[in-house]
Amino acid sequence: MTKCRMLLQENQELGKQLSQGKVAQLEAEIALQKKYSQELKAAQDELSEYVFQVDEEAEGLHTSILGCSSDLTLANKLTTKLTAGRTNGPVDGSSTGIQGTTKSSTSSNEMTH
């Protein structure tokens, strides 16, 4: 009977050790998962910051492109008007939309009065 009690006690101790070993193993796995989770969070934060910076750059470039497009459209219109003015006769500034004064018309008006 004593031998049975000793074997029973030994079984209980082995069961505790085995249980404690599993708990320790699970705790180690949890610690590794937490560390991995923290690394992923840091990487996500870094990527979010990078995306924010790229988005700001894209907005700036978009604004620059719109400005250049507007300048190009204006230059094309002016070129078209100047080209049309040359083929239709001398350019006096009226075909380009540029306001100018002509001395000859002013002089002739002053002479007649």
- Tens-digit pLDDT profile for the chain (113 aa)? 888 888 888 888 888 777 778 888 889 999 999 999 999 999 999 999 999 999 999 999 999 999 999 999 999 999 999 998 888 765 455 544 544 444 444 444 444 44
> Which DSSP string corresponds to the chain?
-HHHHHHHHHHHHHHHHHHHHHHHHHHHHHHHHHHHHHHHHHHHHHHHHHHHHHHHHHHHHHHHHHHHHHHHHHHHHHHHHHHHHHHHS---STTTT-----HHHHHHHHHH-
